[in-house]
Amino acid sequence: MRTPPHRLAGMLAAMALATSGLGVTTLVTAAPAAALGNGNALTPPMGWNSWNSLGTAVDQTQVKQTIDFMAANGLVQAGYNTVTIDDGWSVRHRDGQTTDFAKTADNAMQLYDNYGRPVSGADGTGNDPTSGHLVPDADRFPSQTVNGRTVNGIQYLAWYAHSKGMKFGLYATATYTTCQGHPGSLGHESTDANDFVAWGVDYVKYDDCPYGPTIVGPDGYSYYPQGQGKELSQSVYARTQTFQRALDAATAAAGRPKVTLSLSAQPAHTGIPHLLNANDPARTDPLIVAAGVQPHQAAGYYPTGVWCGQVANLCRIGGDRNSELDGVLYSGQLQTALKYPGNVHPGSWNDMDMMFAGWQDPYGVWGVTDTDKGHKPFTDDESRTELSILSMMAAPLISGADLRTTADAQQTADGYTWSTGINSSALALLKNPNVIAIDQDSLARPATLVGAMPNYPASTTAPVILKRQLANGDLAVALINQDPNNWAMPSTSFADLGVTGSSYSYRELWTGATGTTTGTIGGNWIPAHGVSLYRITGASIGMGTGNDGNRASVVGDGKYHAISAGGTAGQALGVQGGCYASVGGNSAVNAYQSGNAAQQWLFTPNPDGTVTITDNCYTVVQAHTVLAGGGGVGSAYLLNPTPNNPWQKWKVTQNSAGALTITNVGNGLVLDVAATTAGSTGMTNPPNSAAAGQSWTILS
């Protein structure tokens, strides 16, 4: 790619961080945030982003051409329904000024004290001199007339996307400036959120691009540039939360659907601990506290996979990728994604960056006028591999290819003419419905690694095998050849996959080949950087959602059951206060009473493989209310049922000893108890195999 300054800074800072150890910072009291739960992005978002192919040269004509191409070539029908303009769409000042803002030698916005004197901002203070609204660059995004009304060029594109049945996304940042030096939204959150909503924006990519000096902390540690002013005193967590709440307020005031928020914070952005506000909400967020914070890092920065789903719908978990496939393999973002499955659930997805499947080099004729290895287009095999990995990890599918016709995407430079438009074979790969179905599977459980990575990190070319449980009881298996030069023949056994049947039918999702296999899957030659992606029918691995007899015994049997949390001496989960308690009350454990309707639960399977848990109360106050989880860590309570509400759906698994694990679909947390004594509230907490209260015994 163009390697803008923030990308270079990110790489250098990441190298500096690699030498730091692990530890925990001291925390102070502050109110944590609830999980986002805005009802958006219940499956991984799909669409297109302008950056990889068009960069800061993106203009209105190009975006219209992209919208037309996506609508005319089956991409919208396949699920790629959002078109997003990345950095560079605005002029370099707000409308409260007539000239561009001043910059420091570090390329940061110049901040000032209360007397108008320039300050470095390195102590976490300083005032932003800009005011007013962001202004679309009229040279590239001219105003247009829509239904007799003149609208700015961004608002026009939102209208145009909507007219084609698509959604429209726009770029902003949680910093003073964008990565390319345009005004950011820090300190202007309400203004920008109201403008975006008024313009018809449905989706925001929210970047984090701090510029500033190297700062030496009180301990003598040199912090690579982490920003200035509020970029240092407020965590990425807090700044994103502020903008997200501003978006919610703007949509509520306008009567519009909520905006989907995609956070793109980089691993190099770690903050500076002694400059973070004492009351920053990240300091006492339960997930961050449980994970701990590394030395020389502040709470609420990297790793985003710990906390991001509480403030955004999409969460970048790694740095920017280029068109080298290594960036998405195990040595790149796949390894990171495997570390943070808890951030993956309806409404929250680990973002592995824009895709390069079908991307063509916009900087020159590859191999002739451009030999940068980071600009080499993917082969079709590499495109299949990228799409397979992202789909197995339930990641957003955001294309960075030039989705325009060959003629519209024609380039001329250095005496050569070529097109960056996606070719027909790559287009077909993007639209593969069977692969998309894996990505969009409603169980929303990402893949896990089968076995261990042999000889890693000494060798980065060994095959990777992933398995992913699907909502209908099928199992997806990806066999990935990481070797860039040689073919490989990876395979895996039923035992390694955790399935117990003797034979299963399968479909290879790229070739369409079908068959029956006994004992193993794979064993065919896979080309360099290639993949085989299988869907194995009925190969449930005991997750309570399959159709092969291995689901939890209480699910779908039509009976009411009493259950007890581990460590509570057999106390049963029930409706706190009994069947005459008001709807909306908590669940709790108390002494088991056979025949007590408030302690009886029906586990009903849903078509998407999840489970609805209903009590047996039937009174004038309560009539079979359902167990629900909240926005995050908190009580599990009883509500009247709402169709397709993910917080009223659960994943129920049963181990070989018969114990149940009950996971909320909406927040990804596990049913637990607050304590072991009578009257203790039912809770949802982060998964913890050592927590006795997360293991439930069937009493009846």
Residue 370 lies in a domain: no
Please identify, among 536, 552, 585, the residue that sits at the C-terminal boundary of a domain: 536
Tens-place pLDDT, residues 226-259:
999 999 999 999 999 999 999 999 999 999 999 9
Buried b (16+ CB within 10 A) or exposed e, 265-291: bbbbbbbbbbbbbeebbbbbbbbbbeb
- Taking the CB of residue 526, how many other CB atoms lie within 10 A of it? 21
| Radius of gyration from C-alpha coordinates of the chain | 26
| C-beta separation of 84 from 47 below 8 A | yes
Tens-place pLDDT, residues 601-632:
999 888 778 899 999 988 777 888 999 998 88
Is pLDDT at 545 greater than 70 in this prediction?
Answer: no
What is the reported pLDDT for 35? 58
What is the reported pLDDT for 21? 28
What is the reported pLDDT for 18? 33
Q: Which domain holds residue 337?
A: 5-317+325-356+380-400+434-439
Distance between CA atoms of 586 and 576, rounded to whole angstroms? 6
More confident residue, 502 or 182: 182
Residue 463 lies in a domain: yes
Is pLDDT at 36 greater than 90 in this prediction?
Answer: no
Averaged pLDDT for residues 538-557: 58
Confidence of residue 541 (pLDDT cuts 50, 70, 90): low
Is pLDDT at 511 greater than 60 in this prediction?
Answer: yes
Residues 519 and 620 grouped into a single domain: no
Peptide bond into 303 cis (omega under 30): yes
**What is the 3 state secondary structure string of 228-252?**
CCHHHHCCHHHHHHHHHHHHHHHHH
Distance between CA atoms of 396 and 220, rounded to whole angstroms? 41
Tens-place pLDDT, residues 351-402:
999 999 999 999 999 999 999 999 999 999 999 999 999 999 999 999 999 9
Task: For strands 149-151 and 118-119, give the pairing.
Answer: unpaired
Residues 635 and 499 grouped into a single domain: no
Is pLDDT at 4 greater than 50 in this prediction?
Answer: no
Residues 505 and 650 grouped into a single domain: no
Cβ partners under 8 Å of residue 511, min gap 6: none
Averaged pLDDT for residues 17-46: 55
> DSSP labels for 568-629?
STTPEEEETT-TTSPTTPBEEEE---TT-GGG-EEEEEPTTS-EEEEE--BSSS-BS-EEE-
What is the reported pLDDT for 559? 83
pTM: 0.77
Residues 490 and 623 grouped into a single domain: no
Cβ partners under 8 Å of residue 126, min gap 6: 111, 112, 113, 119, 120, 228, 229
The one-letter code for the residue type at 200 is G
Per the DSSP assignment, residues forming a β-bridge with 464 are 480
Is pLDDT at 148 greater than 50 in this prediction?
Answer: yes
Tell me the backbone φ, ψ of residue 669, rounded to 5 degrees.
Answer: -100, 165
- Taking the CB of residue 649, how many other CB atoms lie within 10 A of it? 25
Separation in Å, CA 299 to CA 41, 227, 331: 26, 15, 26
CATH number (domain holding residue 647): 2.80.10.50
Averaged pLDDT for residues 655-661: 89
Separation in Å, CA 300 to CA 237, 459, 630: 5, 33, 22
Distance between CA atoms of 95 and 88, rounded to whole angstroms? 16
Per DSSP, the three-state class of 449 is strand
Distance between CA atoms of 463 and 475, rounded to whole angstroms? 19
Residue 424 lies in a domain: no
Distance between CA atoms of 16 and 224, rounded to whole angstroms? 8
Confidence of residue 92 (pLDDT cuts 50, 70, 90): very high
Residues 515 and 589 grouped into a single domain: no
Residue 409 lies in a domain: no
Residues 189 and 300 grouped into a single domain: yes
Residues 256 and 175 grouped into a single domain: yes
Residues 502 and 595 grouped into a single domain: no
What is the reported pLDDT for 394? 98
Residue of 223, 373, 235 lying closest to 310 (CA atoms):
235
Residue 541 lies in a domain: no
What is the reported pLDDT for 9? 37
Task: Share the mean pLDDT of the chain.
Answer: 91
Cβ partners under 8 Å of residue 682, min gap 6: 573, 586, 587, 588, 589, 627, 635, 636, 637, 671, 672, 673, 674
Averaged pLDDT for residues 192-218: 97
Residues 239 and 298 grouped into a single domain: yes
Is pLDDT at 29 greater than 80 in this prediction?
Answer: no
CATH number (domain holding residue 176): 3.20.20.70
What is the reported pLDDT for 11? 37
Residues 530 and 564 grouped into a single domain: no
What is the reported pLDDT for 386? 98
More confident residue, 16 or 695: 695
Cβ partners under 8 Å of residue 353, min gap 6: 316, 318, 320, 321, 327, 328, 333
What is the reported pLDDT for 518? 94
Share of residues in the chain with pLDDT > 70 (%) = 93
Averaged pLDDT for residues 495-519: 93
Cβ partners under 8 Å of residue 494, min gap 6: 500, 501, 519, 520, 521
Tell me how far the alpha carbon of residue 272 is from its chain's centroid: 25
Residue 611 lies in a domain: yes
Per the DSSP assignment, residues forming a β-bridge with 263 are 206, 315
Confidence of residue 546 (pLDDT cuts 50, 70, 90): very low
Per DSSP, the three-state class of 9 is helix
Is pLDDT at 79 greater than 50 in this prediction?
Answer: yes
Is pLDDT at 19 greater than 70 in this prediction?
Answer: no
Is pLDDT at 558 greater than 80 in this prediction?
Answer: no
More confident residue, 450 or 8: 450
Residues 17 and 164 grouped into a single domain: yes
In the chain, how many domains are there? 3
Residue 416 lies in a domain: no
Share of residues in the chain with pLDDT > 90 (%) = 81
Residue 568 lies in a domain: yes
Residue of 479, 472, 444, 358 lying closest to 48 (CA atoms):
358
Is pLDDT at 17 greater than 60 in this prediction?
Answer: no
Per DSSP, the three-state class of 206 is strand
Is pLDDT at 23 greater than 80 in this prediction?
Answer: no
